[in-house]
């Protein structure tokens, strides 16, 4: 498969200078931009999958009638925190 290019992006000179300061030794601007684009794409894929799992879980909870309220979750976390603090005092 042939590679393709990403459109050039205009940035303020200050951002360009900052970018050049953070490049790793031997890393080119193009490599940095490609890695950043890959990271951004992966983050969006991960977010979309996370949301899809959450919506599926919500639908399953509605179907099954099994919910855990926010208050129950907070009480459970507070109990765990209290237990951890008690262990730490010993």
Centroid of chain to Cα 79: 28
- Specify the pTM: 0.69
Residue for token pair 């951890």? 84
Summarize pLDDT for 40-87 with one digit per residue, the tens. 999 999 999 999 999 999 999 999 999 898 999 999 999 999 999 999
DSSP assignment of 14-75: HHHHHHHHHPPTT--HHHHHHHHHHHHHHHHHHHHHHHHHHHHHHHHHHHHT----HHHHHH
């Amino acid at each position: 498969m042939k590679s393709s290019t990403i459109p050039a992006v205009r940035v303020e000179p200050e951002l360009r200078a900052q970018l050049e300061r953070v490049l790793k030794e031997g890393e080119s601007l193009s490599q940095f931009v490609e890695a950043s684009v890959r990271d951004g794409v992966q983050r969006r894929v991960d977010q979309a999958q996370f949301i899809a799992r959450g919506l599926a879980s919500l639908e399953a909870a509605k179907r099954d009638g099994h919910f855990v309220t926010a208050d129950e979750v907070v009480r459970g976390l507070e109990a765990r925190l209290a237990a951890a603090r008690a262990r730490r005092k010993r």
